[in-house]
Amino acid sequence: MRAADDQRRQAALARDAELKKTAVPTSPPPKANGCATCQKELPAGALVNVKGKNYCYGCSIAAQADQCFACNKPILSAMMKANNRKYHPECLKCSRCKNQLTEGFRMRGKDMMCVPCSSKP
């Protein structure tokens, strides 16, 4: 009986050790008077509330900005729209040659292509 208990205990310890290896680290929760992005602590009056979260001024600008469809980063300056999606100018690229689309584009199926690539078979 005692040997069976020892085996169960050893199996449980092995499972726990395996779980610790595969556990995904979590980020700390935002501080009550801290920015949800950079965690900087600020007085309550210095925080900007965006969609129910508190941000410092610098992070609030990025939190409110449109997101680039290609890189998923905030668009803080020039923006291009194509196919009802928003892009940084440098992220709007031909799906075939990967050159930046500056002179217009054509759709081939779901792919945006520069004019020269769209005319190739």
Using DSSP's 3-state secondary structure scheme, residue 55 falls into strand
Rounded to an integer, the average pLDDT of 103-120 is 87
- The mean predicted confidence, pLDDT, of the chain is 81
Backbone phi and psi for residue 47, each to the nearest 5 degrees, phi listed first: -90, 145
Any idea where the domains of the chain sit in the sequence?
Answer: 27-64, 66-121
> Per CATH, which fold does 66-121 belong to?
Cysteine Rich Protein (2.10.110)
Check: pTM over 0.85? Answer yes or no: no
Rounded to an integer, the average pLDDT of 26-47 is 73
Higher pLDDT, residue 105 or 3: 105
Among 30, 90, 92, 91, smallest CA distance to 63 is for 30
Is residue 30 within 8 A of residue 40, CB to CB? The reply is: no
